[in-house]
Chain A
Amino acid sequence: MEKLEILEGRKKQVFEKNKETETFDIKCETTSLSGSVSQRACVFCGSRVVLYPVADALHVVHGPIGCAAYTWDIRGAVSSGPELHRLSFSTDLKEMDVIYGGEKKLYKSLLELIDQYEPKAAFIYSTCIIGLIGDDIDAVCKKVSEEKGIPVLPVHSEGFKGTKKDGYKAACDALMKIVGTGSTEGIGKYSINILGEFNLAGEAWIIKDYYEQMGIEVVSTMTGDGRVDDIRRSHGASLNIVQCSGSMVRLAKTMEEKYGIPYLRVSYFGIEDMSKALYDVASHFSDNPEILQAAKKVVSREVGELYPQLLEFRKALDGKKAAIYVGGAFKAFSLIKALDSLGMDVVLAGSQTGNKDDYEGLKGMCDEGTIIVDDSNPVELSKFILEKEVDLLIGGVKERPIAYKLGVSFCDHNHERKIPLAGFIGMYNFAKEVYESVMSPVWQFAPRKGGLS
């Protein structure tokens, strides 16, 4: 494809920062244009990825087989105990179920499963088709819950009812039904919940460890390495720490309204943001100066170790250009800072689900000439990568082969990362991965940038 154009209907979702641009009115938070090759997923996907790491709960996908098959253990969220979340349970709806309804099938499935696995709770995801045929999954869940004595929670995640973000909401609403159902006895004053950290490659363990070193009690990690009983008593914590732009903010807000628990938004990526995530918590608990002292200790020890190593990577990476296209915009902020600490310039920053404030923020952080884009597609990504002579693309599963075909190095900052990229150790891993990919000898054999080199 020689000619690379942006879809007419998408022009307002793409923005290039330069001095002449006075108004910045990026269009976002809409569904993709019909006919576009969108990189986005659906409401169900949003719910499934958020709740997936609750490891001692049953996750039953009510619908035809595909929805369960495609989300079977793709998240990479690890558990320190039960592994029930890694199995794939589906009601596997057939034609007759679509005609006559699938409630009975769901009911039977749940009884069979709960007897067999004795889970702490069950999440029942409704897919596109359930929304259409009108199965009353709330009623089924209520009935099973009464019969079996565990929370059986409907997750209203019909795929067509919005974007992935609406799936986050549905997931938060389901979690909120468990929050507050356990005893808060024994929870101390200096206690937090970690929200929106999914324990990909064990990241939640790293973060939890930092806080614990500061003398902070972590009541629940929602939902990385999640446990139902922890979530039940999470309303006993004094503070919620929310990572990620959208997935868990709703839960934090609801908990604030209902239980008066304030929340802080943080990011665990890069030295700057990771340190801030610890200091912010310390300053929240300013009545206890020991916490701040401990935080300083953690940061200075970790940064002291990390910094010289980063300088080594920086020598090689200085001045290289990076493009970022990730799920949540909040992650993009951290990545820009992290890349900056490696001497790299960000020339494209985009996300699948950012809102206006996010993009305003991105615009503020980026240099002149940077492209800011919402809900991009492969044609655009290729176009920008070629035009901006990018050396590195950071994205998810569908972006990797596109980068490689263009002869450009790649770093997965989504589900497919197999090493932790969060925390100080994560920054080292990130720098190392970026360095190894950018400097790989393979690029000398791979034609690059449209085959021009």
Chain B
Amino acid sequence: MLLRHTNKEILEREALTINPAKTCQPIGAMYAALGIHGCLPHSHGSQGCCSYHRSTLTRHYKEPVMAATSSFTEGASVFGGQANLVTAIDNIFTVYEPDLIAVHSTCLSETIGDDLQQIVTKAKDDGKIPEGKHVIYAPTPSFVGSHVTGYANMVAAMAEQFAENTGKPIDQINIVAGWMEPPDMREIKRLAKELGVTIQLFPDTSDVLDAPQTGKHVFYPKGGIRVPDLKSTGDSKSSIALGCFSGEPGAVALDKKCKVPFKTEDIPVGLRATDRFLMRLSKAAGVKIPESITDERGRLVDLMTDMEQYFHGKKVALFGDPDDLVPLTEFLLDLNMKPVHIISGTPGKRFEQRIRAILADTHADANVKNGPQADIFLLHQWIKNEPVDLLIGNTYGKYIARDEDIPFVRYGFPILDRIGHSYFPNIGYMGAIRLAEKILGVLMDRQDRDAPEESFELVM
């Protein structure tokens, strides 16, 4: 009983977070930056931040994660980190030879007031940025938002600092990726190809954080959007942002800078969100949905009918990032399940609005909370008060699942205790098939495990 300290009685907490359902901005920025080819993320702060982010990303993806640090000392913290960053930029281009460096700040550098724009300009003026190389930057103070905010800020920085409107439109659609896994990014590209649409997907972590074993430790794996492609996003016909928290800020920045109109859709988790995404993409590009994709949808619906008898009324608790949870909640409802407790540590009003709207007709009384004190401790308390049949969330959910003996599906970031999750898509019809299969699998495993001998059956 690891979480024996969780009590049932819920008190209004003002000042404390227990077992957070989020982490801080810089790790999101680091993950996003890895989605540009040849990019070395750079953490402007103490060594520890960079080390923690690299460790967590390594544990989740089981891949080498490269990033540099400004290595702040006490001196830098008093006199400012400009010298450290300029030296760092010089060292990085000399030794690690990236195409670009993506600098993100930390709570430390933000609090001492380092101005990344000014420092990068100075590095440029001092000739520290070689011809044809780039440095982009995003402010990511850890005391604002969450890892999702940090991801969005770095994606917005990509649009702001790279996109160019040359006045010559290109027949392509930008897809501003919300926080998705590398196989999800790959799936977006596959779907676009099936539709016959040229897209620019950014960031794109496929083939970066799921790179093949080659016998080489490559600093810059072959994946990621290339800088010229990123520049070309300013000439695209339009953009589709996936996820209003993690994707939309990038599309807004692109619209502001290059007047590329955009629409925001949910990350295509589950049936209806995938429908909406594909309709949006087909409309934007003026193409029809091909039979091959309609067939995939048909297979998903077929699977859902086969599973229909097992799901209804099953209560679910879920936690994670807002752009995942919104379409996931919708999908759970489509499977006739009952989401009763929903937690996201990431602050933002739109989350509760969206979730409430989705739940309004059938489950308006569900517990929903995000932002301060929306943590896994509270989720556990809710579960103690109203038990559930299934828990969905990142690895940290395993403590609750064990203590309360609840079937558990790992979903979201980070997943530290399983291998393989970074190879299978969660999105699109294929991702929905996989998700439904995983959910039914844990429910049935549980049924088998608990069945008395006389009712243990071959066919369920």
Contact = CB atoms under 8 A, between A and B. Distances in A.
A400 B377 CA distance: 32
Interface stretch (A29-37, A176-184, A279-287): A29-37
Interface stretch (A60-68, A192-200, A218-226, A343-351): A60-68
B77 A132 contact: yes
A304 B149 CA distance: 59
Given A87-B5, A112-B16, A31 B73 contact: yes
Interface in A37-80: 37-45, 63-72, 74
Interface stretch (A94-102, A141-149, A305-313): A94-102
Interface residues of B, number: 88
Contacts of B49: 42, 66, 159
B27 A397 contact: no
Contacts, number: 263
Interface string A433-453: 000000000000011111111
Contact of B68 (A35, A42, A128): A35
A41 B54 CA distance: 10
Contacts of B4: 83
B16 A89 contact: yes
B215 A379 contact: no
B214 interface: yes
Contacts of A128: 45-46, 48, 72, 77, 106-108
A159 B3 CA distance: 29
A8 B67 CA distance: 19
A67 B218 CA distance: 29
B387 to A, nearest CB: 21
- B3, B16, B42, B62 interface centre (most CB from chain A within 10 Å): B16
Contact of A160 (B22, B46, B219): B46
Contact of B141 (A70, A74, A89, A95): A95
Interface string A107-129: 01100110011000000000111
Given A34-B87, A64-B107, A88-B18, A42 B215 contact: no
Contacts of A357: none
B165 interface: no
B192 to A, nearest CB: 29
Nearest to A79: B2
Interface in A159-177: 159-163
Given A37-B67, A64-B24, A133 B51 contact: no
B219 A95 contact: no
A131 B76 CA distance: 13
Contacts of B111: 98, 129, 132-133
**Residue of B7, B107, B218, B219 ringed by the most chain A CB atoms within 10 A:** B107
Given A37-B68, A405-B213, A131 B77 contact: yes
B95 interface: yes
A160 B72 contact: yes
23 contacts: A9-B91, A36-B68, A36-B91, A42-B51, A64-B142, A67-B48, A67-B52, A69-B24, A88-B20, A89-B18, A91-B15, A94-B144, A94-B372, A97-B143, A105-B15, A128-B46, A132-B77, A132-B111, A132-B112, A159-B48, A159-B108, A405-B214, A405-B216
Interface of B: 1-5, 7, 11, 13-20, 22-27, 40, 42, 45-56, 58-59, 62-74, 76-77, 84-85, 87-92, 94-97, 106-108, 111-112, 141-144, 146, 211, 213-220, 345, 372, 377, 396, 399
- Top-10 shortest CB links A-B: A42-B48, A66-B24, A447-B215, A35-B88, A35-B91, A451-B215, A70-B52, A64-B142, A69-B23, A159-B46
